Amino acid sequence: MKRKIISTLLCVSMCAALMMGCGQSDKSDTKETKKTEESKDEAKDDKLDLGLDADSVTVATSPGYEPFEFEEDGELKGYDVDIWNEFSERTGIEVKWEYADFSGLLGLLSSGKADAVSAQMSPTEERKDSYLFSDPVDYYGSTVVVAKDNDEIKSVKDLSGKTVGVGSGNSMQQAVEDMYPKGDVKFEVYTSATLEAMFDDIAYGRIDAVLAQDIQTYMAMKSNKNLKIKVLEPFAYDTANIVFAKDNTELCDAMNKFIKIIKEDGTLQEISEKANLFLKEFSQNDIIINHHYIDEGITMTYLTETFIPYTKVLTPLLLEGLWITIYVSALAFLLSIILGAILAIIQHFRVKILSQLAKVYVSYFRGTPLLIQLFLFYYGLPMVFDVMKRCPKTFALVLCLGLNSAAYISESIRGAIESVDKGQYEASIAFGLTHPQMMLKIILPQAAVAAIPPIVNSCLDIIKMSSLGMTIGIQDIMGEAQLTAATYYKTFETYILAAVFYWILAIVLGVVQKKVEKIISSAYQK
């Protein structure tokens, strides 16, 4: 009987996982498909031939870097995006976009989930050892950004003994380290390469300066005139290139041919002018810089003129992310309940071999950070198993959340079962109940009452931990919040509203918990 129960539960969990990971295939008429293929072949005859045998190219980027790549009205725009749009239009090759945090872009490339990375990345020596780089698509100045009233730091030569903020993987850090071989500069590395958090830390006095691209900084100052910063003269100029896997010479060569073509015919110049890359209007002298609102306090003027109008812009975006958060959390919770129950039963009945494996499973998922588990699954496994390259990011997050939470839920269920008084077991046997009858009618109802609070806590943890999905490009509440903050440079307002969304979810879940507890208690009393 025990084996039947365990087998049934295992089957249910496997079916659930397959349902989440697999989509439905579309049925199409053979004749229509043939006509479509023929029309595509005819269209290809008129397209630019770069010697590339591919129907589509997946490009990874990190939105939030105006004017290079950013979202506007739900559409990806920017200088890099326009280059690839031109590539697609001229070659007939479809360009698909994959989002991720800047620090995770090369992971997408290494894992085979992306064919190229287009995010203003420079070819450092370390990167060139592992990846291919195209010819430059633009040039930028490496600058030092300081507080408006900072007269102590006038150039990169004045950074000795200072704390400097820099985005993870930014090539400017290596350039400054070479200038200070004795380690006189302390670096504060930010996991995301977006600038809004660094600029806020300058305002708070947590860091002395920030290393950033000149054009990005000017765009930030134009987007938010409350930024109390100034830009020093560039200390170096570097190239921004498109990145490819080391063995993808075919795509790299094709892109180099394309870059040469659009440079010679003036298209690249037109794209750069559209992005305002070379216009003098981005001089800091032309930008009016007001005091940071933090200096003035939270006044009624701030609430009516800044916070409330921005809330009206941000709320619809967070609502879009809310449904993704709910969807991911619900599926992960379902998986964790099923798997957690299986693990609890295996350990309670001390099933040979399986109970030891269950202990190892629980130990691993409770003993390692969820972020590492997610990265190993999404970035690591595709390097070992080719089939994992096609794993959707949402499925990866759901699976990792479910597997992680199952370890905690299993312990909650097991503890609840074992907390039932032993006299209940003896009484059940005395009344002639079978073991399954005893578990279903006597033990589990009592255990359920004790298990509900910790299980609900696990559900809350799933909702909150789903925010880690932003690191692999999932646009949930936190993903939308980070992207919007990077676009508007309003971190305080953005994360306050995001926190309210998560808080509301927690309140709703608390109400549901009380209802469920009441229902189960009433049913048990009857």
Q: Which residue has the higher pLDDT, 520 or 63?
A: 63
Give the span between the Cα atoms of 463 and 455, in whole angstroms: 13
Instruction: Please indicate, yes or no, whether residues 503 and 395 belong to a single structural domain of this protein.
Output: yes
If pLDDT is split at 50, 70 and 90, which confidence band does 520 have? Answer: low
Over 80: is that where the pLDDT of 205 sits?
yes
Looking up residue 175, the CATH number of its domain turns out to be 3.40.190.10
* Residue 32 lies inside a defined structural domain of this protein: no
Over 80: is that where the pLDDT of 38 sits?
no
* Range of lowest pLDDT (35-39, 196-200, 285-289, 375-379): 285-289
Over 60: is that where the pLDDT of 150 sits?
yes
pLDDT 10s digits, 294-308? 333 445 666 666 778
HSE-up of 399 (CA within 13 Å, CB side)? 21
Instruction: Please indicate, yes or no, whether residues 360 and 469 belong to a single structural domain of this protein.
Output: yes
Total Cβ atoms within 10 A of residue 379? 21
* Residue 7 lies inside a defined structural domain of this protein: no
Instruction: Please indicate, yes or no, whether residues 194 and 322 belong to a single structural domain of this protein.
Output: no
Looking up residue 433, the CATH number of its domain turns out to be 1.10.3720.10
* Range of lowest pLDDT (138-142, 156-160, 179-183, 487-491): 487-491
Give the span between the Cα atoms of 498 and 5, in whole angstroms: 42
Residue 159 identity:
L
pLDDT of residue 409: 92
pLDDT of residue 286: 32
pLDDT of residue 47: 82
Query: Across the chain, what does the average pLDDT equal?
Result: 80
244 forms bridges with which residues in the sheet? 116, 132
Query: Could you give the 3-state DSSP secondary structure of residue 43?
Result: helix
pLDDT of residue 192: 60
pLDDT of residue 101: 80
pLDDT of residue 295: 35
189 forms bridges with which residues in the sheet? 166
**What is the mean pLDDT of the segment spanning 216-243?**
82
Instruction: Please indicate, yes or no, whether residues 348 and 464 belong to a single structural domain of this protein.
Output: yes
Q: Which residue has the higher pLDDT, 307 or 125?
A: 125
Asked if residue 92 lies in contact with residue 43, where contact means CB atoms within 8 angstroms, the answer is: yes
Report the DSSP pairing between strands 131-133 and 236-245. Answer: antiparallel
* Residue 288 lies inside a defined structural domain of this protein: yes
Asked if residue 366 lies in contact with residue 408, where contact means CB atoms within 8 angstroms, the answer is: yes
Most confident range (mean pLDDT) of 2-11, 116-125, 185-194, 363-372 is 363-372
Q: Which residue has the higher pLDDT, 292 or 453?
A: 453
**What is the mean pLDDT of the segment spanning 171-196?**
83
Over 70: is that where the pLDDT of 289 sits?
no
Q: What is the DSSP letter of 381?
A: G
Instruction: Please indicate, yes or no, whether residues 148 and 253 belong to a single structural domain of this protein.
Output: no
Q: Which residue has the higher pLDDT, 360 or 516?
A: 360
Total Cβ atoms within 10 A of residue 411? 18
Find where tokens 């646009």 sit.
475
Give the span between the Cα atoms of 304 and 294, in whole angstroms: 16
Instruction: Please indicate, yes or no, whether residues 71 and 178 belong to a single structural domain of this protein.
Output: no
Total Cβ atoms within 10 A of residue 47? 13
pTM of structure: 0.66
Over 60: is that where the pLDDT of 362 sits?
yes
Instruction: Please indicate, yes or no, whether residues 218 and 273 belong to a single structural domain of this protein.
Output: no
pLDDT of residue 259: 94
**What is the mean pLDDT of the segment spanning 378-403?**
88
* Residue 249 lies inside a defined structural domain of this protein: yes
Instruction: Please indicate, yes or no, whether residues 271 and 334 belong to a single structural domain of this protein.
Output: no
Helix ranges restricted to H, 285-392: 293-296, 300-302, 308-348, 354-367, 370-375
Q: φ, ψ for residue 134 (rounded to 5)? A: -75, 175
Overall domain count for the chain: 3
* Residue 390 lies inside a defined structural domain of this protein: yes
Buried b (16+ CB within 10 A) or exposed e, 384-398: eeeebeebebbbbbb
pLDDT 10s digits, 73-105? 778 998 999 999 999 999 999 999 998 888 788
Instruction: Please indicate, yes or no, whether residues 229 and 251 belong to a single structural domain of this protein.
Output: no
pLDDT 10s digits, 442-452? 777 777 778 88
Over 70: is that where the pLDDT of 155 sits?
yes
**Angle at the Cα of 519 (from 517 to 522), degrees rounded to 5?**
105
Over 70: is that where the pLDDT of 58 sits?
yes
Over 60: is that where the pLDDT of 170 sits?
yes
* Residue 1 lies inside a defined structural domain of this protein: no
pLDDT of residue 512: 86
Instruction: Please indicate, yes or no, whether residues 276 and 291 belong to a single structural domain of this protein.
Output: no
Give the span between the Cα atoms of 152 and 293, in whole angstroms: 23
Give the span between the Cα atoms of 55 and 329, in whole angstroms: 35
pLDDT 10s digits, 247-283? 999 999 999 999 999 999 989 888 888 876 643 333 3
Q: Answer positive or negative: Cα dihedral of 185, 486, 67, 468.
A: positive
**505: nearest Cα among 468, 460, 462:** 460
Structure-token pair, residue 372: 């590492």
Give the span between the Cα atoms of 270 and 462, in whole angstroms: 47
| Alpha carbon of residue 29 to chain centroid | 38
Beta carbons within 8 Å of 141's beta carbon, 6+ residues apart: 213, 214, 215, 234, 236, 237
| Alpha carbon of residue 463 to chain centroid | 15
Instruction: Please indicate, yes or no, whether residues 459 and 345 belong to a single structural domain of this protein.
Output: yes
* Residue 14 lies inside a defined structural domain of this protein: no
**What is the mean pLDDT of the segment spanning 410-414?**
89
What percent of the chain clears pLDDT 90, i.e. is strictly above it?
Answer: 33
pLDDT of residue 294: 31
240 forms bridges with which residues in the sheet? 138
Domain end point (choices 281, 308, 337):
281
pLDDT 10s digits, 457-479? 899 999 999 999 888 888 899 98
* Residue 109 lies inside a defined structural domain of this protein: yes
pLDDT of residue 118: 95
If pLDDT is split at 50, 70 and 90, which confidence band does 526 have? Answer: low
| Domain region containing 339 | 317-525
Instruction: Please indicate, yes or no, whether residues 329 and 461 belong to a single structural domain of this protein.
Output: yes
Give the span between the Cα atoms of 317 and 311, in whole angstroms: 10
HSE-up of 76 (CA within 13 Å, CB side)? 20
Give the span between the Cα atoms of 526 and 522, in whole angstroms: 6
* Range of lowest pLDDT (156-165, 230-239, 243-252, 514-523): 514-523
Give the span between the Cα atoms of 344 and 358, in whole angstroms: 9
**329: nearest Cα among 489, 211, 469:** 469
pLDDT of residue 302: 62
**What is the mean pLDDT of the segment spanning 128-145?**
90
